[in-house]
Amino acid sequence: MGQLSGPINIYHVERSRCDVQEQIDISEFRKVDIRIGKVVEAERVQGTDRLIRLTVDFGGVRKQALTGLGHLYQPEHFLGRKFAFVTNLKPKKVRGLVSECMILAAMKDENEVVPLVPERDIAEGSQVL
């Protein structure tokens, strides 16, 4: 085996995964309203493999979310559980259905996507900071 020249940077790979295209000011980040919602209805969108329609309760206010995670999860995975959602996105129409919020998830690649859940139980509608 050959000798290594210089120290090995074990953080190089991890940093490259976190590189961002553009930095934003904290005031821009504060515009994003992230809240905990409880999924009260979940069903696959007819005629699709990936789309799941979620009805989410944010503490008395209900919104609909469409998620493209149907290739990884069954609708039952979401039902009755709490997740983090962006709640102030402009509504978007997909396959004739309106998505009013977006579930947040960590993603390694298209086949490893993990929806974000609170560490412990907290009220629906609680803000994520």
| Alpha helices in the chain, H assignment, sequence order | 12-18, 26-29
> Which residues, other chains included, contact 107 with Cβ-Cβ below 8 Å and sequence gap of 6+?
113, 114
Q: What is the mean pLDDT of each run of 10 residues along the chain (129 residues)?
A: 43 52 89 97 95 97 97 97 97 95 95 96 97
Question: What pLDDT, on a 0 to 100 scale, did the predictor assign at position 17?
Answer: 61
The HSE-up count of residue 92 (CA atoms within 13 Å, CB side) is 10
| Alpha-carbon distances, residue 118 vs 7, 69, 121 (angstroms) | 39, 19, 7
Q: Cα–Cα distance between 68 and 76 in angstroms, integer? A: 15
Question: What pLDDT, on a 0 to 100 scale, did the predictor assign at position 21?
Answer: 78
- Give the class (CATH, top level) of 30-115: mainly beta
Would you list the domain boundaries of the chain?
A: 30-115
> Which residues, other chains included, contact 95 with Cβ-Cβ below 8 Å and sequence gap of 6+?
45, 47, 48, 51, 66
